[in-house]
A and B are shown apart, each in its own frame.
Chain A
Amino acid sequence: MSAEAFLQIRHLVKEFEGHPAVDNVSIDIAKGEVFALLGSSGCGKTTLLRMLAGFETPTSGSVVLDGRNLAGLPPYERPMNMMFQSYALFPHLTVADNIAFGLRRDGMPAAEIGVRVEAMLKLVQLGGYAKRKPHQLSGGQQQRVALARSLAKKPQLLLLDEPLGALDRKLREETQIELANIVHDVGVTCVMVTHDQEEAMTMASRIAVMSAGRFLQVGAPAEIYETPSSRFVADFIGNVNLMEGSVVEDEAGHVVVDCGDCKHWIGHGITGTLGMKVTVALRPEKIRIGREPPADGSGAAPPAPFNRVRGKVKDLAYFGSFTVYHLLLAGGRVLKVSQSNSERGGGTALTWNDEAWASWAPLSPVVLTQ
């Protein structure tokens, strides 16, 4: 945490009737970063965002933006702008007037306002829609007007509240990338709140997974996904197989964890002791599945009985581009395996009640101690 970070949040707490919605949160956010607060509803992410915007007063703690302490500043005096989940476009004003609203409050001369509004409309590709009213726009268009309005004043910090929440699935995919590009092109520092992992992972440079008012893990999307720091995070992001076991071998270059039906040979060391109880997290897409057992001695693959297991296909779900198999193991555990359908009409496609082998590489599992 550098002392010159752009946005510094220190020990921020917000209590409602004795219960902490935000519980001692501290984080540094660099200029130009896109930072996502990810969590399910009630975890405190929206409260945190609203405290940044000035709609809630912190119970304790501080927020410093670009060296300036924001304590006591009302929302209309803060150098940040928010894009609301419901867009909150003023229905009685045209698109142009909506975007110009903040500029007019600042006393900007009319000619300049006109230029800025034009530029904003062009940025979100809505040039020519200036005279429309919000109810004449589609959901996607309204969202872009909301974005243009929140960027019009060139704020130091952009706050996004579930930006893609109101859009349907197809639109959401298209808009995700567009939105990320706009934010990146403008170069504004951005804090966003979302419960959608995809949204967080595609748009953010760093994600904070939140639960019960605390940050559980903060890191880049890949970091969070591939090296979760706890069971909760591993389970929250994406799909995962969690297996309890104990460390039976602990060397500098590898460890072996015995989970009963699965024995993991993991190709890196961990800080721990022999016999320690740990959880192994293994993502479904990292597991190979097939009728034949994996070939032994093929490069880095460890020999049997490690990193392989046999089972029966109890269930499968066909998603078109990939299939998810539920493999029932001898001890009763069900292993989730995801395999992309990279070939059309693969002759060896597995089906219900087939016997199959699952195997994985030594660096695929992650060892979790909490």
Chain B
Amino acid sequence: MNAAAWNRAFARAWLVLGYAFLYVPIVALVVYSFNDSPVANLWRGFTLKWYVALASDQELLAGLALSLQVALSTACAAIVLGTLAAFAMTRYRRFFGSTLFAGMIAAPLVMPEVIIGLSLLLMLVSLQRATEAAFGFGFPERGMLTIWLGHLLLGMAYATVVVRARLQTLNPQLEEAAMDLGARPWQVFWLVTLPMIGQALLSAFLLTFTLSLDDVVLSAFLSGPGATTMPLVIFSRARLGLNPSVNAVATIIIAIVAVGVVVASFIMARGERRRAEDIAAANRALTESTP
């Protein structure tokens, strides 16, 4: 084989091995979820009993319900805060304290969650004690609200990145044109900017939703009695050892995500194809007649 063929083979092998590495655990989870064995490692036969057990697993289902609520509210709030922050950073570039602002927006993306969790919790506890002393009742109680606050902090950082990336590619003359034609700033945002960043908002929503659904550390620090999220349930079980019911949950989640991602890519690809066809049709029309 010549050099080019070697290179191609090498590239292909690296990609295949890399994807294998990424997917081995996922495949394992799916396979073992059908394993009729209490010890998840030895294959004994095909069964659906773990899935059936899920339906009556109160602890897990309650955790799921809570996680969904938190994730939904986190995602909604995150895209609002994230869009505001993204605007602040792209449209009003230099304002008082913009470096600090940029730092605070970027930091949650990389800062270890134990630090964020601990610090946020302690601040909320102190707030609770202060309000207790001043008003007689402590606010906020540790529970769903505090978990939501923590997830929102993280989600906002991610949402800002996504929305900002989109805003940067927007032609600023579009908003100027809207203003020139008589639209007030609020109308400009609603009628022109928002439709154009719509897809980015959806991405940010889904990203934040997933992050919140999956979060362990922040939830652990910020939860209270009765507010156990699904990841916390799974984590406590996982710490104790291998647990087949976890495999079943995992497979369901994987299935949902896989279907979602495939459908989303399909829709996007179809949109791209239709666009390309429109442009090709316009070009054909152009060559056939005078502009």
Contact = CB atoms under 8 A, between A and B. Distances in A.
Given A75-B176, A92-B196, A138 B181 contact: no
A88 B174 CA distance: 5
A91 B193 CA distance: 11
Which secondary structure characterizes the binding site on chain B? helix
B176 A91 contact: no
B281 interface: yes
Contact of B291 (A86, A90, A133, A141): A141
A105 B179 CA distance: 10
B228 to A, nearest CB: 44
Contacts of A132: 282
Q: Give the interface size class of chain A.
A: 20 to 34
A74 B179 CA distance: 8
Contact of B184 (A76, A88, A91): A76
Nearest to A152: B181
Interface of B: 171, 173-174, 176-184, 187, 191-192, 195-196, 275, 278-279, 281-283, 286, 291
A55 B282 contact: no
B136 to A, nearest CB: 50
Interface string A88-100: 1011100000000
B179 to A, nearest CB: 4
A149 B291 contact: no
Contacts of A149: 181
Interface string A161-191: 0000000000100000000000000000000
B242 to A, nearest CB: 51
A84 B278 contact: no
Contacts of A76: 179-184
Given A54-B179, A84-B176, A171-B291, 14 more contacts: A75-B180, A76-B181, A76-B183, A77-B182, A81-B180, A82-B180, A84-B173, A85-B173, A86-B173, A101-B183, A105-B182, A105-B187, A136-B282, A137-B282
Interface of A: 53-55, 74-77, 80-82, 84-86, 88, 90-92, 101-102, 105-106, 132-133, 135-138, 140-141, 149, 153, 171
Given A105-B187, A135-B275, A140 B291 contact: yes
A101 B275 contact: no
Nearest to B192: A90
B181 A101 contact: yes
Contact of B177 (A88, A92, A135, A136): A88
Given A88-B171, A92-B195, A140-B291, A106 B177 contact: no
Contacts of B283: 138
Contacts of A140: 291
A142 B281 CA distance: 15
A149 B173 CA distance: 14
Contacts of A53: 176, 180
Nearest to A171: B291
25 contacts: A53-B176, A55-B179, A76-B180, A81-B181, A82-B176, A82-B177, A82-B180, A88-B176, A90-B174, A90-B178, A90-B192, A101-B183, A101-B191, A105-B181, A105-B187, A132-B282, A133-B278, A135-B275, A135-B278, A136-B279, A136-B282, A137-B282, A138-B291, A149-B181, A153-B181
Contacts of B192: 90
Tell which of B179, B181, B279 has the most Cβ of chain A within 10 Å: B181
Contacts of B181: 76, 81, 101-102, 105, 149, 153
A102 B279 contact: no
B179 A75 contact: yes
Contacts of A153: 181-182
A347 B171 CA distance: 57
B84 to A, nearest CB: 22
A82 B174 CA distance: 12
A132 B174 CA distance: 18
B177 to A, nearest CB: 4
Contacts of A137: 282
A91 B196 contact: yes
A-B pairs, 4 with minimum CB distance:
A102-B181, A105-B182, A88-B177, A140-B291
Given A135-B275, A138-B282, A138-B291, A55 B176 contact: yes
Given A86-B171, A88-B171, A133-B278, A101 B178 contact: yes
A146 B192 CA distance: 16
Nearest to B183: A105
